[in-house]
Structure 1
Amino acid sequence: MSEAAAQPPQSTRLAVLIPFGIVTLIWGSTWIVITGQLGQVPPSWSVAYRFAIGGAAMLGWALFKRVPLRLDARGMGFAAALGMMQFVLNFNFVYRAEIYVTSGLVAVVFALLLVPNALLGRIFLGQRLGRQLLVGSAIAMAGIAMLFIHEARVDPGSTSRVLTGIAITLMGVCSASVANVMQGTQTARAYPMATMLGWAMLFGAAIDALFAWVTTGPPRFDFSLSYVAGLLYLGLAASALAFTLYFGVIRVIGPAKAAYSGVLVPVIAMALSTVFEGYRWSALAAIGALLAMTGLVIALRARRPNR
């Protein structure tokens, strides 16, 4: 056995597991918080406010760390494209999906992100999928399927509303996956993370605001404590902090493994719902959660196969 083969995979190291865990915990809580953003403020305006806060925080952090704030033309173009895919399309789809179906169902469907991430990572980044990663993925997807069935039973709704919500969520999944794979490219690595993300969020916020104004009219805001607190949490913790950590993980272990944070997000979302919303677990949901976590462990322990 070679020395390289004897080394544990990067995804089992604390430098990866700690940010991976933080991101998963934060994003597991956002689904409940987002429901509090759906009210008198149109979703597009809420998305615009969120990333204006996140982008300003990222550039402020870069300034504090004395990281250059200026990007060249290629960098600005990359930031604009990243902002469109991640902070415009993805989040507008997610916020609108929660109008049609429960946040739990949206979180479960979004866990499918690992599929396009793996496929696009293979096509554009040349990252092969080893047998252990495929086995872990299959086990995790079986768990996600059980969680999906459980959530669909909890919130059956009308067939048309459920299908509409799922379709909108899947569009968000696809746009997020493109953004994830972009972070694994050499272009992304050529620029400071804080600067790139800051500009991407501000580009996204500007486009979100333009779209919101055209489709819903002038800005609207909710000055209630719950809305403002939720907005600050989503802008600072769930955007500025979480995306910095998540994209950093992608650069180390690739988009396929990084997407496994989404496998645990529905489990955490359901656990938080148990505490704050009186959510009741079924045997199907418990088995699904156990399978999802088992698949996660197997996949993260998989070594990257040789090219």
Structure 2
Amino acid sequence: MSHASSPASAAMPASDTKRLDTSTLGLYVATVFLWGVSWIGIRAQLGVVAPEMSVLWRFALAALLMWGWVLASGHRVRFGLADHLRFMAVGCCLFSFNFISFYYGGLSVPSGLLSVVFSLASVFNLGLGFIVFRQKVEPRVALGGLIGVLGIGLLFWPEITGAGFNADALKGLGLCVMGTLFFCSGNMISTVVQKRGVPLLSATAWGMTYGCVVLVAINLFRENAFTIEPTLKYVGSLVYLAVGASVLAFMAYLTLLRRLGAARAGYATVLFPIVALTVSTLVEGYQWTLLAGLGVALALVGNVLVLRKPAAK
């Protein structure tokens, strides 16, 4: 995103947006680790249960935990219609459509590559920031975005061309890009919600609830069986994704979003692909190639250029 202030950061004192204190650093570490490992959990959910059903179980459990947290802490739970419409939009973007896209993308894309595509969130935030908030895009930032996109292209090139033309790999890439766009749109809406002074816990609980309503409707429309795979692998990954990757990680990330704005919070999306690719290499046996390594490097460099603050003149 450009270095013009986001709505969230504009509402805070300059010292708050620049200071990276111990608690903020802890939130970064938590977000990077929890989401970095989560991609292997998504892959573990695939196979028997329909992806949209797995997403429903994940956020149904997460929403129950969030509501327990909200009620125990005495946060406000009643809001006006306008806020509920925003909660619904956040639920669609952050807690349903984006994950359905990634779960289906995971059918043909290794977990580590899912995270690298997701790291383009910083690039997409740039475009959405320009469209929604009219934030200026600097030439250096635009160059970083182009480098990041080029890196993703190189990363997927061996899979796309490996069998003449691997349509499954291209479809998986497209779904991952779609999921990232939904996530970034949710970022924009969440920023507006938080700027209005809505408590983060309450907003997240309502967003997850509306996301579950949407997921129930989708599963009924698709006539999916409301079943769960009774295996340690599935249930274990479900619990981790609901508690660690949904409740704890989203709270950490959305807190970063509130404190620092979308641009600086986006640094987390640059770092967790490193964790995810390491896990994918160890667990899934992901095979590295020179082209894939170059693609990852360019994707990360592009993100750093997008997010890096310009030197003071």
TM-score (structure 2 length as normaliser): 0.82
> Which deviates more from structure 2 when the two are superposed, residues 59-68 or residues 119-128?
119-128
Q: Is contact 1:37–1:43 with CA below 8 Å preserved after alignment?
A: yes
Would the alpha carbon gap of residues 118 and 254 (structure 1) be closer, same or farther in structure 2, given more than 3 Å must change? farther
Would the alpha carbon gap of residues 133 and 18 (structure 1) be closer, same or farther in structure 2, given more than 3 Å must change? farther
Amino acid at match of 2:169: V
Q: How does 1:184-195 map to 2 (within 5 A)?
A: 184-185=191-192, 189-195=196-202
**How many residues end up aligned between the 2 structures?**
299
Partner of 1:62: 70
1:238 equivalent to 2:245? Answer yes
> Which deviates more from structure 2 when the two are superposed, residues 33-42 or residues 254-263?
254-263
Amino acid at match of 1:110: F
Tell me which of 188, 194, 201 is aligned to 1:181. 188
Could you report, residue by residue, the CA deviation over 1:132-190 in whole angstroms, capped at 9, with x for unpaired residues?
6556555655554543446657x769522122222222221221111011122156542
Tell me which of 274, 277, 300 is aligned to 2:284. 277
Q: Is contact 1:9–1:303 with CA below 8 Å preserved after alignment?
A: no
Would the alpha carbon gap of residues 52 and 271 (structure 1) be closer, same or farther in structure 2, given more than 3 Å must change? same
> Partners of 1:194 and 1:213 in 2: how far apart?
29
Would the alpha carbon gap of residues 279 and 106 (structure 1) be closer, same or farther in structure 2, given more than 3 Å must change? closer
Would the alpha carbon gap of residues 135 and 284 (structure 1) be closer, same or farther in structure 2, given more than 3 Å must change? same
Q: Which runs of 5+ in 1 are unaligned?
A: 1-5
Amino acid at match of 1:176: F
> Partners of 1:44 and 1:304 in 2: how far apart?
45
> Partners of 1:7 and 1:291 in 2: how far apart?
32
Could you report, residue by residue, the CA deviation over 1:40-97 in whole angstroms, capped at 9, with x for unpaired residues?
2111111011111111111111122221222232222211111012212111111111
> Partners of 1:127 and 1:252 in 2: how far apart?
19
Q: Which runs of 5+ in 2 are unaligned?
A: 1-13
> Partners of 1:250 and 1:127 in 2: how far apart?
17
Partner of 2:7: none
Partner of 1:221: 228
> Partners of 1:280 and 1:68 in 2: how far apart?
49
Partner of 2:10: none
Q: Is contact 1:42–1:216 with CA below 8 Å preserved after alignment?
A: no
1:161 equivalent to 2:160? Answer no
Q: Is contact 2:123–2:306 with CA below 8 Å preserved after alignment?
A: no
Amino acid at match of 2:131: I
> Partners of 1:66 and 1:279 in 2: how far apart?
46
Identity of aligned residues (%): 32
Q: Is contact 1:183–1:189 with CA below 8 Å preserved after alignment?
A: no
Partner of 2:124: 116
Partner of 1:87: 95
User: Helix, strand or coil for the counterpart of 2:106?
Assistant: helix
Q: Is contact 2:89–2:189 with CA below 8 Å preserved after alignment?
A: no
Q: CA RMSD in A?
A: 3.0
> Partners of 1:294 and 1:170 in 2: how far apart?
19
Amino acid at match of 1:97: G
Q: Is contact 1:37–1:227 with CA below 8 Å preserved after alignment?
A: yes
